[in-house]
Structure 1
Amino acid sequence: MKDKRNIDRLLDIMAQLRTPVSGCPWDLEQNFASIAPYTIEEAYEVADAIARNDLTELRDELGDLLLQVVFHSRMAEEEGHFDFEQVAGAVSDKMIRRHPHVFGADGSDTPEKVKISWEAIKAEERATKQQDDSALSGVAVALPALSRAEKLSKRAARVGFTWAEASQVFRDLDEELDELRAEIDAGSNPDRLEDELGDVLFTVANLARMLDVDPEKALRRTNRKFEMRFRAMEQKFKDGGRDLKDCRLDEMDACWDSVKGVENAS
């Protein structure tokens, strides 16, 4: 096995893991649905390694993500649907089809022209696969909710259902916030609060689209910033011999502002 190309070696390893009786009991009991959460998790870990600019970790995480593709492909092969070779062939065909400016005579010579051509080709592909003719057809349900909101609004915008400029979104955002406040003041049940908060988040996703900002990336950045500041605040109190849970809120607020001040100065 060591003399084989690594991709063939990986395929053989997965085949052995999935071999009845002699294979791995855990691997043998898995199916597409049970493995899907791991696939999503590995994709996020790839993104995390990139965000940290850890290229050694990125290599390892890309391997873990590749394993997910091999795992799904092996299960599909066992059921007679397709195998890894067909997966690789299908995506190769797709890349050639979507890059006529490289592999054909399209003539697109700027990133803007390429993007227009790419979207047109993707629309043609969706038309051959989708079961309805909605402008929203084909937006994956399993996407993170914030990303899916941005993609749904982007599809709607392509047919003209959008604001003329980003500043107009704030009017609707204010309305949604007022509706959420009203539900809170009325002591509404969690279902009503969830509904109204969802409207606020969907409007924010629209604002991100109009500002050409990836909402998932923006929120991940803020999460990292919050974690860094919170840990710095914890450390300041720890250096003073105090535990955060024993501190007053006004003390924590003052320390938080101090941490932000040092961060901004640097």
Structure 2
Amino acid sequence: MANDDARHVMQAYETVRTMISPGGCAWHEVQTHESLMPFLVEETAEFVDAVERELPASEVRSELGDVLYQVLFHAAIAERDGEGYDLRSVADALNEKLIARHPHVFGDRGYMTVEELHAEWERLKEDAAGEARGSRSPLEGIPAGMPTLARAAKVVERLKRANLIEPTVGAASDLDSDAEDQLGDAMLALVSRANATGIDPDRALRRAVDRLAKLAVESK
């Protein structure tokens, strides 16, 4: 089955390589990593939307295919332009990283619960990279270009795992069945309040996250 899966992926890759080659598709031929960024973001968002709206499996499959297309497109551009990697090397590097970061699956660490993995995750990444324990910042690797709210959630979760901030959200038992709706309404009310006072809510949140990260890391 694995070889058959690989064959199908490589067939799609060959199709993309043909389209970006001279004499293929004029539009594809002139694209770059930078020019494709909006499409990668858009296709990812459409896949997320399909999952969250619980669309039929055929539609979710199609949207996931569009995300895969973007991966193949970038890999093909890199191969064509001699950037030092192609789809095979991307897949090889990914496979090596997954195995190195999951010694509890592929090594001798033994089974670990989700809670244990959360506590161990940064140390697993340090081991995989051959870095000294405690050398990584808890916020290392969080992209500055993430959507602001997603980045805020990521920063808070990382700081909580590193015990640099106290959890401020009630336990699951304290939340009622429509807590997500209530929280969404509260956030929407804050956005409305920001609009009414002429404050950019996105910028306000970015600055708040930066302040939290700075204070938490400095107090370490």
Partner of 2:79: 77
The TM-score with structure 1 as length reference comes to 0.57
Structure 2 vs 1, CA of residues 154 and 69 (structure 1 numbering), >3 Å: closer, same or farther? Answer: same
Greater relative contact order (Cα 8 A, min sep 6): structure 1 or 2?
A: 2
Structure 1 residue aligned with 2:123, among 120, 128, 145?
120
Deviation of the 1:159 alpha carbon: 4.5
Structure 2: segments with no counterpart, 5+ residues: 1-5, 171-189, 213-220
Please say which structure displays the higher CA radius of gyration.
Answer: 1
Instruction: Say if 2:118 and 2:161, in contact at 8 Å, map to a contact too.
Output: no
Structure 1 residue aligned with 2:21, among 10, 19, 22?
19
Deviation of the 1:76 alpha carbon: 1.0
Instruction: Say if 1:108 and 1:114, in contact at 8 Å, map to a contact too.
Output: no
SS of 1:166's equivalent in the other structure is coil
Instruction: Say if 1:126 and 1:138, in contact at 8 Å, map to a contact too.
Output: no
Instruction: Say if 1:127 and 1:133, in contact at 8 Å, map to a contact too.
Output: no
Structure 2 vs 1, CA of residues 29 and 148 (structure 1 numbering), >3 Å: closer, same or farther? Answer: same
Percent identity, aligned pairs only?
33
Structure 2 vs 1, CA of residues 196 and 18 (structure 1 numbering), >3 Å: closer, same or farther? Answer: closer
Aligned AA (1:52): R
Instruction: Say if 1:135 and 1:156, in contact at 8 Å, map to a contact too.
Output: yes
Instruction: Say if 1:146 and 1:202, in contact at 8 Å, map to a contact too.
Output: no
Partner of 1:51: 52
Structure 1 residue 152 corresponds to structure 2 residue 158: no
SS of 2:200's equivalent in the other structure is helix
Structure 2 vs 1, CA of residues 10 and 149 (structure 1 numbering), >3 Å: closer, same or farther? Answer: same
Count of matched residue positions in the alignment of Structure 1 and Structure 2: 179
Structure 1 residue 61 corresponds to structure 2 residue 63: yes
Counterpart mapping for 1:1-266 below 5 A: 5-20=7-22, 22-53=23-54, 54-80=56-82, 81-124=84-127, 134-163=137-166, 165-166=168-169, 184=197, 193-194=199-200, 198-199=204-205, 202=208
Instruction: Say if 1:32 and 1:72, in contact at 8 Å, map to a contact too.
Output: yes
Pairwise CA RMSD: 3.3
Structure 2 vs 1, CA of residues 70 and 200 (structure 1 numbering), >3 Å: closer, same or farther? Answer: closer
The TM-score with structure 2 as length reference comes to 0.68
Instruction: Say if 1:18 and 1:27, in contact at 8 Å, map to a contact too.
Output: yes
Alpha-carbon distance in structure 1 between the residues aligned to 2:58 and 2:110 = 38
Structure 1: segments with no counterpart, 5+ residues: 168-176, 185-189, 207-266
CA-to-aligned-CA distance 1:83-141 (integer Å, 9 cap, x gap): 0001111111111112212211111342322333334223555785xxx9644332112
Partner of 1:171: none
Alpha-carbon distance in structure 2 between the residues aligned to 1:136 and 1:121 = 15
Structure 2 vs 1, CA of residues 115 and 162 (structure 1 numbering), >3 Å: closer, same or farther? Answer: closer
Aligned AA (1:5): R
Alpha-carbon distance in structure 1 between the residues aligned to 2:202 and 2:28 = 42
Deviation of the 1:79 alpha carbon: 2.5
Higher helix proportion: 1
Structure 2 vs 1, CA of residues 66 and 197 (structure 1 numbering), >3 Å: closer, same or farther? Answer: closer
Structure 2 vs 1, CA of residues 40 and 162 (structure 1 numbering), >3 Å: closer, same or farther? Answer: same
Aligned AA (1:50): V
Compare 118-127 and 29-38 and name the one that shifted more. Answer: 118-127
